[in-house]
């Protein structure tokens, strides 16, 4: 069986060294020494001034909306994981969907401006598969209309644009460190801002709004993470270059073996590096996708229609709208297996099956 993804695990003995230390300290959560160490090491690795380690990527998004005191309408993308939209609704705001760019699959800045009303308070955009949005264009629009910008950078760990971390763009960026991500802490997330005052506010929100032994300064949430998750994050961080290089090699093998497939990859941002978080391909037709996926399923090779269906037309708690590019792309895109332990031979097998079905 070949799964669409599989978590990277460090050598067990390296993780257990951290666990032994947790046992000795008996400090399990509430931002213990390992969680604080992970924040520091991640800041150094990502070349960031500020960063908070939180429960998961969804809580990070909820904290971002809360900290920025957003109300009314938030313009967002329908081509993302459901948490991007559900966060907006959860925080009592209204998501306003605009269509995506057909090449990058990120939100189309030209359509953002068309959707702005006097109720618009922010833009919440996703770096799809880690591929950066047009951050410069979005920044111009946000400043022109006095809007806040949150980036859902769940997939974008390690990505840089114009030589600096993708997390530096917008008012707040969030990242997921879920077990399925290329770098993970089993469960976890990051929230990043350049604004030191906003960081203090987020730190308080993460801990129920507690500002002293018997005082509160914010409406908060339990957004903290445990020492056990931080231990996995620390153990994995030393392997991040190795993980990246292996995934890059796997990506290149896929591209070589599938060069005659009737499908294309999304167009990557020209001034950004690729972190090889996913291997998405856009098929010539949905029928071809379904035929290939069906045969791969029979062979216990599991892919994912990520993101399908469009959030704009599938969520029971929102009115349904159809955005033509998103609807079309969501029906024709498929993510192939990609993870550290995947072998070149397995990719060759996957490619042979796909090409055989296409050519039958």
> Quick one: pLDDT at residue 243?
98
Q: Which whole number is the average pLDDT over 239-268?
A: 98
Q: Are residues 73 and 149 in the same domain?
A: yes
**CATH number of residue 354's parent domain:** 3.90.1150.10
Q: Are residues 63 and 212 in the same domain?
A: yes
Question: Mind listing the pLDDT tens digit for each residue in 163-176?
Answer: 999 999 999 999 99
- Bridge pairing between strands 94-97 and 73-76: parallel
Supply φ then ψ for residue 326, to 5 degrees. -60, -45
- Mean pLDDT, the chain, whole residue set: 97
Where do runs of H (alpha helix) occur along the chain? 12-25, 33-46, 57-67, 82-90, 109-115, 135-145, 196-206, 227-237, 240-257, 286-298, 324-332, 344-359
- Domain residues for the domain of 122 are 12-237
Question: Mind listing the pLDDT tens digit for each residue in 176-222?
Answer: 999 999 999 999 999 999 999 999 999 999 999 999 888 999 999 99
Kindly report the length of the chain: 360
Is the model's pLDDT at 336 over the cut of 90? Answer: yes
Q: Residue 265: inside a domain, yes or no?
A: yes
User: Mapped to the 3 state alphabet, what secondary structure does 33-80 carry?
Assistant: HHHHHHHHHHHHHHCCCCCEEECCHHHHHHHHHHHCCCCCEEEECCCC
Is the model's pLDDT at 114 over the cut of 90? Answer: yes
Q: Are residues 106 and 252 in the same domain?
A: no
Question: Mind listing the pLDDT tens digit for each residue in 26-82?
Answer: 999 999 999 999 999 999 999 999 999 999 999 999 999 999 999 999 999 999 999
> Quick one: pLDDT at residue 154?
98
Q: Are residues 342 and 211 in the same domain?
A: no
Q: Are residues 268 and 304 in the same domain?
A: yes
Distance CA 346, CA 303 (A): 13
Q: Are residues 105 and 147 in the same domain?
A: yes
Q: Which whole number is the average pLDDT over 328-349?
A: 98
Q: What does each C-alpha distance from 352 to 22, 296, 341, 359 come to in angstroms?
A: 48, 11, 20, 11
Q: How many domains does the chain have?
A: 2
**CATH number of residue 52's parent domain:** 3.40.640.10
> Quick one: pLDDT at residue 212?
87
Q: Residue 6: inside a domain, yes or no?
A: no
Angle of CA points 117, 156, 337, to nearest 5°? 120
């Amino acid at each position: 069986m070949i799964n669409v993804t599989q978590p990277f695990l460090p050598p067990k003995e390296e993780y257990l060294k951290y666990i032994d230390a947790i046992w000795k300290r008996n400090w399990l959560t509430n931002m213990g020494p390992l969680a604080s160490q992970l924040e520091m090491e991640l800041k150094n690795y990502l070349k960031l001034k500020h960063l908070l380690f939180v429960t998961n990527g969804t809580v990070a998004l909820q904290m971002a909306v809360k900290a920025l005191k957003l109300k009314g309408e938030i313009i967002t993308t329908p081509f993302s994981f459901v948490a991007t939209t559900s966060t907006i609704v959860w925080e009592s705001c209204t998501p306003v969907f605009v269509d995506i760019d057909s090449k990058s699959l990120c939100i189309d800045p030209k359509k953002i401006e068309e959707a702005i009303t006097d109720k618009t308070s922010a833009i919440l955009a996703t770096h799809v598969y880690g591929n950066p949005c047009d951050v410069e264009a979005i920044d111009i629009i946000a400043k022109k209309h006095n809007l806040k910008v949150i980036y859902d950078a769940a997939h974008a760990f390690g990505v840089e644009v114009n030589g600096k971390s993708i997390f530096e763009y917008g008012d707040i960026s969030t990242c997921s460190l879920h077990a399925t991500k290329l770098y993970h802490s089993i469960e976890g997330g990051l929230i990043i801002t350049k604004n030191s005052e906003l960081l203090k506010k987020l730190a308080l929100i993460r801990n129920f709004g507690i500002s002293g032994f018997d005082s509160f300064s914010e409406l908060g949430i339990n957004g903290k993470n445990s020492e056990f998750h931080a231990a996995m994050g620390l153990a994995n961080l030393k392997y991040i270059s190795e993980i990246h290089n292996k995934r890059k090699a796997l990506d290149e093998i896929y591209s070589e073996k599938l060069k005659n497939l009737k499908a294309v990859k999304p167009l990557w941002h020209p001034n950004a590096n690729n972190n090889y978080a996913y291997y998405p391909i856009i098929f010539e037709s949905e029928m071809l996708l379904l035929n290939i996926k069906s045969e791969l399923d029979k062979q216990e090779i599991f892919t994912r229609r990520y993101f399908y269906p469009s959030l704009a037309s599938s969520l029971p708690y929102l009115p349904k709208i159809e955005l033509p590019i998103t609807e079309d792309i969501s029906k024709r895109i498929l993510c192939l297996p990609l993870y550290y332990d995947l072998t070149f031979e397995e990719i060759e097998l996957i490619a042979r099956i796909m090409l055989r079905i296409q050519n039958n």
